[in-house]
A = this chain, B = another copy of it.
Amino acid sequence: MTGPRAHHQMSSHIAGLPELLGIELPVIQAPMAGVQDSALAIAVSNAGGLGSLPCAMLDLEALDAELAALRDGTARPFNVNFFCHTPPAFDSQREATWRRVLAPYYAGYGIDPAAAAAVPLRVPFCTEVAGVVERFKPAVVSFHFGLPSSGLMARVKSWGSKVLASATTVAEARWLEKHGVDVIVAQGLEAGGHRGMFLSDDLKTQVGTVALVPQIVDAVRLPVVAAGGIADARGVASAMSLGAVGVQVGTAYMLCREATTPVVHRTALKSGLAERTALTNLFSGRPARGIVNRLMQELGPMTEATPSFPLASAALAPLRSRAESSGSGDFSPLWCGQNATGCKEISAARLTQGLVGAR
């Protein structure tokens, strides 16, 4: 029996998210590399939610500095988020293919096609990273694209950190439960940014939040947090009705004062363009949801021509920076979920309180 009655019986054994994580409100601010740093996480944690620091693009020194800022900025729990991908070997042939695809754009801007571009750093969670994080023992550590090795998992849990991880299918949720996760983040396909998928790469069978959350709630004994398309108090109430113990909200925070969202990105979020998002691998090599822009329109949002994640961004970097400097987001990853109507130019504290209907 997986009907509603069975569910309600089970969920009575599951503590609420605030109780589980030592926070006040069942709201996690989604970690969003590229549009925030510790300032947003501190503001959300101090408002009673769970602030999150995206660490995939931080080197060890920056990670240490950001963790120190978090520790100094809030006495409340916060979440430190990492990617768990396997870094690919550089493949000169795929890089050349990708640069051939982009060549007309380089020519358009008069950029030297041989322009050296630093590969933006995307470090998976590893021993060195764990060494830095260990000094801070954050209340929560979360992972995207699966989990680190069982040794690293054990190390994280030995600090007393609760471990959260993203599932985009019932199978991924079951796998995460078996591998020691404390809370599942059910990521519906409405969600902005990178899909957390790790057991399958089939985008065609990815599931919306309304369908995903109750199926995962029924399939695992762990508490489930809903993510994807949740933009306001209605969305939060809706997720709780589905059996989630809390929500993870990203897009709505992107116009907050404390976010570092670039101007071209803020402009797009405030425009009608934000009504059209799609999954694209153009910007990193892995599918992520963003506002449809010129590059996505002209190349198609998904292509086999990119190098493996995260190497696709290197060749795009000069184009992106040139375009952004003239106010254009044509080559920028404009990450955004399927409901940008929750974005407001207010403080992260007010936004957090508004999500739970507090005024």
Contact = CB atoms under 8 A, between A and B. Distances in A.
Interface stretch (A16-24, A44-52, A106-114, A232-240): A232-240
A230 B210 contact: yes
B210 A189 contact: no
A237 to B, nearest CB: 4
A208 B208 contact: yes
11 contacts: A3-B232, A3-B354, A4-B233, A170-B275, A188-B210, A190-B208, A190-B211, A205-B276, A208-B210, A210-B235, A211-B337
A97 B10 CA distance: 53
Contacts of A277: 205
A279 interface: yes
A228 interface: yes
Given A214-B341, A354-B4, A241 B237 contact: yes
Interface in A253-285: 275-279
Contacts of A240: 241
Contacts of A209: 208-211
Interface residues of A, number: 51
Contacts of A170: 275
A211 B339 contact: yes
A348 to B, nearest CB: 16
Interface string A343-359: 01000000000100100
Given A208-B208, A354-B3, A241 B234 contact: yes
Interface-centre pick from A3, A7, A240, A292 (highest chain B CB count, 10 A): A3
Interface string A169-180: 111000000000
The 8 closest A-B pairs by CB, nearest first: A208-B208, A211-B229, A211-B338, A237-B241, A210-B229, A211-B339, A238-B241, A204-B278
A47 to B, nearest CB: 17
Contacts of A218: 341
A196 interface: no
A301 interface: yes
A152 to B, nearest CB: 30
Interface of A: 2-4, 7, 169-171, 188-190, 204-205, 207-212, 214-215, 218, 228-235, 237-243, 275-279, 292, 301, 337-339, 341-342, 344, 354, 357
Contact of A232 (B4, B232, B234, B292): B4
A278 B206 CA distance: 8
B341 A215 contact: yes
Interface-centre pick from A204, A235, A243, A341 (highest chain B CB count, 10 A): A204
A4 B339 CA distance: 13
B205 A231 contact: no
Contacts of A204: 278-279, 292, 301
A79 B241 CA distance: 28
Contacts of A341: 2, 214-215, 218
A199 to B, nearest CB: 12
Contacts of A230: 210
A132 to B, nearest CB: 36
A223 B17 CA distance: 33
Given A169-B275, A171-B275, 18 more contacts: A2-B341, A3-B232, A3-B344, A7-B234, A188-B208, A190-B208, A204-B278, A204-B292, A205-B277, A205-B278, A207-B338, A208-B228, A209-B209, A210-B239, A211-B337, A214-B231, A214-B339, A214-B341
